[in-house]
A and B are shown apart, each in its own frame.
Chain A
């Protein structure tokens, strides 16, 4: 049996959640004040995902970097793999919002896209 402790993020109450698990299955969830807490806990212990937002250096742009995001949230444990891959890409201006900067980031199947326009100088 495994116990995971989480803080619910749905509201400022920040309920301290306890999830009891066995072989990847949830036995029970404690500490939530509402249904949203249980849904959050379930997702967080089985498949926690995050949207990654960061910057990528731009070649020949009016700005030195462009801000980017993963189009969808990616598994939490892939965050730093995604960052590593982004270190190696260097798109050239002009870049528009929504342009794919890195396809299939860290094997997640999710693209990293630009969130800002960067024109040539």
Chain B
């Protein structure tokens, strides 16, 4: 297409209030305070109040959204240090099976089993993947994609850990509310914790590994050790999600290694905008309810879900969160190029 005589381009300017709240250390005006706090506090309050107004089924949807949200956050952390994972289901499944074993074989109480499964899941994942952290891009992704499939097939073929029947566990949450709120609170905690982490010096190094690993190496930092540490954190987060669902359903079977748990978080991050954590969280809060709402479409459910996903990624490659963030902070106008 040939450009017309007048060239138009888009001009963006920070809003006054954004400039003010950025640079002025002490914020005094109530407007300013609201401007800074609203995007942080409102979602938290909304999530905490929401369960009171929801039916049991919709609470379940919300919990599932938090679980997928945790997976998406853990994915985003790995992406931050250049590890592109297609295997959140690996972390998820390992956590779920660890919780299952804690309960089924050791009869540990949930309050011991859940944290133990979380940490041991993270440890197992980081040990498993430590030999391949030197791989980049799509190659690391392939390993993480294949490992959960491999585990699944091994469990299926060997009959270990309950085989195709799975393990029916006994421990569960004392009541619904504990489960719902534990899910939501951990989700929010991880979200803000990770946002804090990535802004710290430690996070800065992680991001630098993604952007230019050789530069980081030449600064005398062992990037592989850092990557394994990131794997441990991300693995623990996802393992918690898996262990959480095991206790919630009192069951663990090889379907915890299903592709759904790898693709959903990834899609959530892609939809919300990777690299921001808030984007991944937002994405999962959109995608999971969407996929439930689409049950009304019957057989076209998954197909229409994929369609929505494709269209939104193509229309907004930067992600919904980055888009919203920009609109919140900036004016936009079309100006003529002279």
- A, B: real partners: no
